[in-house]
């Protein structure tokens, strides 16, 4: 399987959308220098293209295996992980205090887009470490931080997140894993966790589990869960490793895709763990892990979509079949307008999703580091608003894009070991994990939209209006056409927003009926806005042509649906009324 | 895996959409009696529910195997096939002259919807026999018909279609398999065919291959292909079986889904075959096979979507997770508006696709049997117009519907052996085989729309207008709302149709750029029309409630997109102009 990172497009999005210059101007990234970007992207591309992509097909075919001594990764993965650690890729955007490189988050997103694009099953291992690191950074005591963070940030150890139990998926408050205090201040954790990504493996000498569990006196529900850290091997005072902890992987799930990413059933039997943050405040800590993970899952959608796009382009350029307008003899299928439409749809949607994810990462950096408090606050609100879009919109598009990738391949796309098929199968998990896309939609119209009476969305819409105005001011026909489409779509988003704010106040159920359509609409408009923003003012040349073509195609193909989506948002509750006959027993 | 046929919905669609009464009134179906419908559907449901559905999961897990002596089907399939033959299910809609039951085609569609819904991999075996039978009925000599049709129609033998070669997929004209005349009037066929569904197995004592090949003096391209029939075992004059022919299965594809349907690589080495129809007229014969197969593949989309819907309803009723409005304690997820939206979307789309497919089958019967020539002609045109919609719209919806089925299951949906996952994987082939959906769209805007200057589409649109008028005349709020949505959507379809007719004349490539969006738009409008038609005038009761809820939900959720689709139709070519930079090498 081949993958080459779209380095120039990524660099363009970093510069025009993530605005690395603005992030650098906060002064919080003294190690950052704009000249670093190109060599970092080039080196990351080498890792992705030369080390990780060649392992993707064998990983799909072979998968990870559970043996007597634990999980054994797919062939080549341990070596590749060692190279990943060696290259310092884990530490890019983490604080120097714990050995990180202190670089802006979007730069790490760019690198991890490449890693996921080359090999999503591999990329999940560091993705889970991210969650563990961010939970410890935000909530761990200085002692826990010092014990675990340096090795997690270097990548020498990996982390995993233990949330789900059979009865507690989307509703983690239903979990029953127990944590009983030991006399030494630690806790004895017992229970079973499922769907634990990279919960075990032998690629590193230690694995650090972040585990949600319930104290003996904990209140019921989500207000009674606490977060614990439990290493596979205990860490001695001198940093050396001691005895093995009493948890293990007792089963691996047999999944549709990401076969090389072990999905573990983990059994904890009086395993020793330490409380992270306050007792019964595990939910807040979990959201720290989840927010990072949600953006990163959105990024997986971008990545696997880009990989599918590349496979589609390659096949369309290679497969000869029938005649096509203007071509003598057998033509490659790329000459068919319908194939071009599929490729353009894939490209435009991947670029839009990339822009949304990178913009979300940029907002996170500004929210943390901008010197001005008001700016930090508004950036935080922007990050929070963009997170469900980054997660759900990008991964829904990943389904569409990888589906088109299969379609371009015709019968070959249905063969189990075609790259296009693997991307389709791997992508299917992304709308599910780290909060299903339905939950993202509830989060968007609930906490994120209604939480501040629509203020953050209004600010977003004002930005879209600015973009439409700037596009019109160019007087260039393509940009004027985009501006027309944006105006209509933005009006639809505004009216849907007003409806949603009222509905969520009047009757939450009514609002929630339109949540998924609202998320789609918001993602379409924000995606079009960012694509247009990336194209505007770009000096003539390849990058300008590509950015303009993507913005124009997306505006023509996607934005005309905005009024229809707005109608579906507000009609949702009414058309569901009486619809229960549709799922009643016959 | 469980499946129970939605018998009352199917009966309702047969009665209100397929209009079995009109078909019976042609006088061509003396064996048909309206009282037969219910017992036939009930018996078919027993086969589907009790015999075929229990084999679906094991078929997915085990697959068919290639052994030294040929292909061995998945466990239980041979027994099930014997029961299928025993029940006379193969012969329903075929002529009595060859042992068929001479019943209307939509009745067979209804039965095969159940078979595919219970076990699509199994259903593919008779589906391919259909193609062989119809090719022989339309083009075979009386002698060939007498030799092969009775046993094919009884199901004692199966048929397969050998079209594709590695370099000749969508463009069958590129095939190179040779047929050299033998002295006895037969031909010696040599070459390799791929993707041959149920090309070999041991469930019946003979298998009849329909093979496209090229005579020595044949013109190049699609004008030089001829159709041959080649039995696995030769048939003696007395009907007994003789020597084995010289073709065999030399490999099975490893596919994403339909694992229990063997997809064979067939090697022909001077295999003996007989010409079907005229030399070099194989393309016309192939279209006979393909038209039947296209409708049947659309029906597979309906069937697998219905199966996914049932699994989604079952899971949503069983899975408890978190709180929901109006429910005490843990609620089953069916109480969440977003889950209800998914279930309603699945139901409405499956019902719309069913209506389109059954309407297509009904038109085929009228086209063949109506006493009035003008009616036959217009019915034929209606069938031809509906065929690409039945195939492509229904299978695109099958992807959407099975995707929602996975989503409702959350993490469980991603497990390889969950029923929801199997439906998603099985469904993925349907937009590809028997002419990719891109090819269906070209067929729709080319032959079917432009071929008669839009006359058949105009007649269709007039029917939609009638439905909207009838809906409004009820003065019932839901129907008036539907009527409003239909009016707007029909106007969009009309303007897109006018644009497309002009574009296809002026510059075919421009038209083809909008073909897929046009097919989606036409399917949405026709689907809404048929759902509404099925609901109108239905006496109050469960069936009326269900039909009205489906029509209303579909109108609210889908039809508002019509103007956006019309915009995408006409903008296609313009937005693709300059888009090649999106797939150019970096």
Complex ipTM, two decimals? Answer: 0.97
pLDDT of amino acid B586: 66
pLDDT classification of A327: cutoffs 50, 70, 90: confident
E strand or H helix at B234:
strand B233-235
**Which single residue is written with the structure tokens 């990072």?**
A292
Percent of chain A at pLDDT above 90?
A: 92
- A325 pLDDT higher than 80: no
Q: Searching chain A, which residue's CA lies closest to the CA of residue B427? A: A414
Among A33-47, A81-95, A163-177, B438-452, name the one with the lowest average pLDDT: A163-177
- CA pair distance A171, A32, nearest whole angstrom: 40
Chain B, residues 309-338, CB within 8 A of chain A, namely 313, 316, 320-323, 325, 330, 334, 336-338
Cα–Cα distance list, B72 to A419, B65, B67 (Å): 28, 5, 7
What CATH number does the domain located at A158-280 have? 2.40.110.20
Q: Which residues pair with B193 in a beta bridge?
A: B266
Does A334 sit within 8 Å of B442, measured CB to CB? no
| Sequence ranges of the domains in chain B | 7-154, 158-280, 436-574
pLDDT of amino acid A572: 81
Chain A, residues 517-546, CB within 8 A of chain B, namely 542, 545-546
By the 8 A CB rule, do A487 and A468 touch? Answer: yes
Catalytic residue (choose from A165, A434, A494, A543): A434
> Looking at beta carbons, which residues of chain B come within 8 Å of A174?
321-322, 330
Could you write out the DSSP letters of every residue in B297-336?
Answer: HHHHHHHHHHHHHHHHHHHHHH-B-S--TT--SS-BGGGS
Does A580 sit within 8 Å of B6, measured CB to CB? no
Q: Does the beta carbon of B556 lie under 8 angstroms from any beta carbon of chain A? A: yes
> Looking at beta carbons, which residues of chain B come within 8 Å of A560?
563-565, 567-568, 571
- A278 pLDDT higher than 80: yes
Does A556 sit within 8 Å of B338, measured CB to CB? no
Distance of CA A326 to the CA centre of its chain: 42
Buried residues in A30-41 as b, exposed as e (16+ CB within 10 A): eebeeeebeebb
- CA pair distance A110, A39, nearest whole angstrom: 13
By the 8 A CB rule, do B55 and B422 touch? Answer: no
Q: Hey, which residues of B are catalytic here?
A: 434
Q: Searching chain B, which residue's CA lies closest to the CA of residue A412? A: B255
- CA pair distance A106, A143, nearest whole angstrom: 29
Mutate to test the interface with A, among B438, B444, B487 (most CBs of A within 10 A): B438
Does A433 sit within 8 Å of B411, measured CB to CB? yes
- A454 pLDDT higher than 70: yes
- Please give the average per-residue pLDDT across A483-508, as a whole number: 97
Could you write out the DSSP letters of every residue in A19-35?
Answer: -HHHHHTTS--TT--GG
Task: Please give the angle made by the CA atoms of B338, B344 and B349, to the nearest 5 degrees.
Answer: 130
> Looking at beta carbons, which residues of chain A come within 8 Å of B548?
578
| 8-state DSSP, A271 | E
* Structural tokens at position B508: 């075919």
Q: Which of A416, A508, A560 has the CB atom closest to B568's CB atom?
A: A560
Task: Please give the angle made by the CA atoms of B286, B288 and B294, to the nearest 5 degrees.
Answer: 95
Does A578 sit within 8 Å of B549, measured CB to CB? yes
By the 8 A CB rule, do B162 and A313 touch? Answer: no
Chain A, residues 158-217, CB within 8 A of chain B, namely 164, 167, 169-171, 173-174, 194-195
CA trace torsion A145, A151, A153, A159 (10° rounding): -80
Does A564 sit within 8 Å of B560, measured CB to CB? yes
Does A562 sit within 8 Å of B512, measured CB to CB? no
Does B316 sit within 8 Å of A583, measured CB to CB? yes
pLDDT in tens, A352-382: 999 999 999 999 999 999 999 999 999 999 9
By the 8 A CB rule, do B357 and B299 touch? Answer: yes
* Structural tokens at position B402: 């099975």
For residue B376, give the nearest of B364, B386, B384, B387 by alpha carbon. B364
pLDDT classification of A586: cutoffs 50, 70, 90: low
> Looking at beta carbons, which residues of chain B come within 8 Å of A253?
415
pLDDT in tens, B392-449: 999 999 999 999 999 999 999 999 989 999 999 999 999 999 999 999 999 999 999 9
Taking residue B148's Cβ as centre, other Cβ atoms within 10 Å add up to 25
Cα–Cα distance list, B257 to A60, A104, B128, B262 (Å): 16, 43, 18, 11
Q: Which of B429, B571, B580 has the CB atom closest to A556's CB atom?
A: B571
- CA pair distance B75, B73, nearest whole angstrom: 7
pLDDT of amino acid A442: 97
Q: Searching chain B, which residue's CA lies closest to the CA of residue A348? A: B582
Q: How many CA atoms lie within 13 A of B485 on its CB side?
A: 30
Q: Do domains A7-154 and A158-280 have the same CATH topology?
A: no
Does A509 sit within 8 Å of B344, measured CB to CB? no
Q: Is B196 helix (H, G, I), strand (E, B) or coil?
A: strand
Cα–Cα distance list, A373 to A237, A377, A380, A463, B290 (Å): 39, 6, 10, 20, 67
Q: Searching chain A, which residue's CA lies closest to the CA of residue B172? A: A322
- CA pair distance A131, A479, nearest whole angstrom: 40
Task: Please give the angle made by the CA atoms of B54, B57 and B63, to the nearest 5 degrees.
Answer: 120
E strand or H helix at B183:
none
Mutate to test the interface with B, among A223, A481, A582, A584 (most CBs of B within 10 A): A582
Chain A, residues 19-58, CB within 8 A of chain B, namely none
* Structural tokens at position B489: 């959507």
Quick one: CATH architecture of A7-154?
A: Orthogonal Bundle (1.10)
Q: Does the beta carbon of B239 lie under 8 angstroms from any beta carbon of chain A? A: no
**Phi-psi category of A58—alpha, beta or left, where left has phi over 0 and alpha has psi -120 to 50?**
alpha
Chain B, residues 351-410, CB within 8 A of chain A, namely 399, 403, 406-407, 410
By the 8 A CB rule, do B395 and B223 touch? Answer: no
Q: Is A258 helix (H, G, I), strand (E, B) or coil?
A: coil
By the 8 A CB rule, do B31 and B103 touch? Answer: yes
Q: Which of B255, B341, B416 has the CB atom closest to A516's CB atom?
A: B341
**Which single residue is written with the structure tokens 């390659």?**
A314
Does B414 sit within 8 Å of A516, measured CB to CB? no
Q: Which of B7, B549, B581 has the CB atom closest to A545's CB atom?
A: B581
Chain B, residues 420-459, CB within 8 A of chain A, namely 421, 424-425, 428-429, 431-433, 436-438, 441-442
Per-residue confidence in pLDDT tens, chain B, 586 aa: 899 999 999 999 999 999 999 999 999 999 999 999 999 999 999 999 999 999 999 999 999 999 999 999 999 999 999 999 999 999 999 999 999 999 999 999 999 999 999 999 999 999 999 999 999 999 999 999 999 999 999 999 999 999 999 999 888 889 999 999 999 999 999 999 999 999 999 999 999 999 999 999 999 999 999 999 999 999 999 999 999 999 999 999 999 999 999 999 999 999 999 999 999 999 888 888 888 899 999 999 999 999 999 999 999 999 998 887 777 778 899 999 999 999 999 999 999 999 999 999 999 999 999 999 999 999 999 999 999 999 999 999 999 999 999 999 999 999 998 999 999 999 999 999 999 999 999 999 999 999 999 999 999 999 999 999 999 999 999 999 999 999 999 999 999 999 999 999 999 999 999 999 999 999 999 999 999 999 998 999 999 999 999 999 999 999 999 999 999 999 888 888 889 999 987 6
* Structural tokens at position A525: 């408009």
**Which single residue is written with the structure tokens 């894939």?**
A346
Nearest CA distance, A7 vs chain B (angstrom): 8
Does A399 sit within 8 Å of B403, measured CB to CB? yes
Does B549 sit within 8 Å of A579, measured CB to CB? yes
Q: Is A105 helix (H, G, I), strand (E, B) or coil?
A: helix
E strand or H helix at B476:
none
For chain A, what is the largest distance between any 2 Cα atoms, rounded to a whole number of angstroms? 82
- CA pair distance B143, B141, nearest whole angstrom: 5
Q: Searching chain A, which residue's CA lies closest to the CA of residue B320? A: A167
pLDDT in tens, A499-541: 999 999 999 999 999 999 999 999 999 999 999 999 998 999 9
Please give the radius of gyration of chain B, using alpha carbons only, rounded to the nearest integer.
24
By the 8 A CB rule, do B148 and B208 touch? Answer: yes
Buried residues in B208-238 as b, exposed as e (16+ CB within 10 A): bbbbbbbbeebeebbebbbbbbbbbbbbeee
* Structural tokens at position A524: 């379409």
E strand or H helix at A185:
none
Tell whether the torsion through CA atoms of B279, B280, B282 and B285 is positive or negative: negative
Q: Searching chain B, which residue's CA lies closest to the CA of residue A5? A: B586
Does B403 sit within 8 Å of A414, measured CB to CB? no
- Please give the average per-residue pLDDT across A321-334, as a whole number: 82
Cα–Cα distance list, A118 to A51, A88, A256, A349 (Å): 9, 18, 18, 19
- CA pair distance B577, A197, nearest whole angstrom: 44
- CA pair distance A119, B178, nearest whole angstrom: 44
Cα–Cα distance list, A6 to A46, A257, A361 (Å): 12, 24, 19
Q: Which of B316, B341, B576 has the CB atom closest to A572's CB atom?
A: B341
Task: Please give the angle made by the CA atoms of A235, A241 and A242, to the nearest 5 degrees.
Answer: 85
pLDDT in tens, A161-175: 999 999 988 888 899
For residue A305, give the nearest of A432, A124, A430, A126 by alpha carbon. A430
Does B562 sit within 8 Å of A560, measured CB to CB? no
- CA pair distance A573, A569, nearest whole angstrom: 8
Taking residue A326's Cβ as centre, other Cβ atoms within 10 Å add up to 8
Q: Searching chain B, which residue's CA lies closest to the CA of residue A194? A: B411
> Looking at beta carbons, which residues of chain B come within 8 Å of A308?
none
The DSSP bridge pattern shows strands A70-72 and A65-67 to be antiparallel
Averaged confidence pLDDT in chain A? 96
Does A556 sit within 8 Å of B322, measured CB to CB? no
> Looking at beta carbons, which residues of chain A come within 8 Å of B171?
321-323, 330
- Number of helices and strands in chain B (H, E): 20, 11
> Looking at beta carbons, which residues of chain B come within 8 Å of A334?
583
Q: Does the beta carbon of A562 lie under 8 angstroms from any beta carbon of chain B? A: yes
- CA pair distance A76, A56, nearest whole angstrom: 10
E strand or H helix at B402:
helix B394-408
By the 8 A CB rule, do A519 and A440 touch? Answer: yes
Does A563 sit within 8 Å of B336, measured CB to CB? no
Q: What are residue A209's phi and psi, to 5 degrees?
A: -90, 130
Q: Give every CB contact of residue A165 below 8 A, 6+ residues apart in sequence.
A: A174, A175, A176, A177, A191, A192, A193, A194
């Amino acid at each position: 399987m081949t993958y080459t990172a779209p380095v120039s497009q990524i660099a363009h999005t970093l510069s025009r959308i993530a605005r690395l210059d603005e992030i650098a101007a906060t002064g919080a990234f003294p190690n950052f220098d704009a000249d670093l970007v190109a060599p970092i992207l080039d080196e990351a591309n080498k890792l992705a293209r030369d080390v990780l992509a060649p392992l993707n097909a064998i990983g799909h075919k072979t998968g990870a295996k559970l043996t007597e001594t634990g999980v054994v990764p797919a062939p080549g993965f341990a070596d590749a992980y060692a190279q990943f650690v060696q290259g310092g890729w884990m530490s890019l955007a983490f604080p120097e205090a714990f050995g990180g490189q202190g670089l802006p988050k979007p730069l790490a997103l760019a690198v991890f887009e490449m890693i996921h694009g080359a090999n999503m099953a591999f990329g999940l291992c560091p993705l889970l470490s991210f969650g563990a690191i961010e939970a410890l950074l935000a909530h761990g005591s200085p002692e826990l931080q010092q014990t675990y963070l340096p090795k997690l940030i270097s990548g020498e150890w990996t982390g995993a997140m233990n949330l789900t139990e059979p009865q507690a998926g989307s509703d983690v408050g239903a979990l029953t894993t127990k944590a009983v205090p030991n006399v030494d201040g630690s806790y004895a954790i017992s229970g079973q966790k499922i769907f634990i990504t990279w919960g075990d493996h032998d690629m590193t000498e230690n694995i650090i589990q972040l585990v949600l569990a319930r104290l003996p006196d904990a209140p019921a529900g989500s207000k009674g869960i606490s977060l614990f850290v439990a290493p596979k091997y205990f860490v001695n005072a001198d940093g050396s490793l001691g005895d093995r902890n009493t948890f293990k992987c007792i089963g691996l799930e047999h999944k549709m895709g990401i076969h090389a990413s072990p999905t573990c059933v983990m059994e904890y039997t009086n395993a020793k763990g330490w409380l992270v943050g306050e007792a019964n405040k595990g939910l807040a800590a979990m959201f720290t892990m989840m927010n990072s993970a949600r953006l990163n899952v959105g990024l997986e959608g971008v990545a696997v979509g880009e990989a599918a796009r590349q496979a589609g382009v390659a096949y369309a350029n290679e497969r000869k079949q029938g005649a096509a307008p203007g071509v003598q003899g057998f033509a490659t299928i790329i000459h068919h307008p319908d194939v071009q439409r599929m490729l353009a749809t894939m490209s435009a949607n991947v670029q839009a999703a990339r822009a949304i994810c990178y913009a979300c990462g940029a907002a996170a950096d500004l929210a943390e580091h901008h010197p001005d408090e008001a700016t930090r606050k508004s950036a935080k609100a922007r990050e929070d608003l963009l997170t469900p879009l980054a997660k759900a919109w990008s991964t829904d598009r990943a389904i569409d894009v990888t589906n088109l990738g299969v379609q371009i391949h015709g019968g070959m796309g249905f063969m189990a070991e075609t790259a296009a098929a693997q991307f389709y199968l791997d992508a299917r998990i992304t709308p599910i994990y780290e909060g299903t896309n339905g939950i993202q939609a509830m989060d968007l119209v609930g906490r994120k939209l209604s939480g501040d009476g629509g203020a953050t969305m209004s600010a977003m819409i004002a930005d879209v209006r600015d973009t439409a105005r700037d596009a019109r001011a160019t007087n260039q026909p393509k940009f004027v056409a985009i501006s027309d489409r944006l105006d209509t779509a933005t009006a639809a988003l505004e009216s849907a927003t007003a409806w949603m704010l009222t509905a969520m106040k009047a009757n939450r159920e009514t609002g929630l009926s339109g949540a998924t359509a609202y998320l789609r609409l918001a993602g379409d408009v924000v995606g079009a806005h960012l694509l247009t923003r990336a194209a505007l003012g770009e000096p003539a040349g390849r990058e300008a042509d590509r950015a303009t073509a993507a913005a124009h195609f997306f505006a023509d193909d996607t934005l005309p649906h905005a009024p229809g989506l707005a109608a579906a948002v507000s009609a949702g509750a009414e058309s569901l009324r009486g619809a229960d006959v549709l799922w009643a027993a016959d």
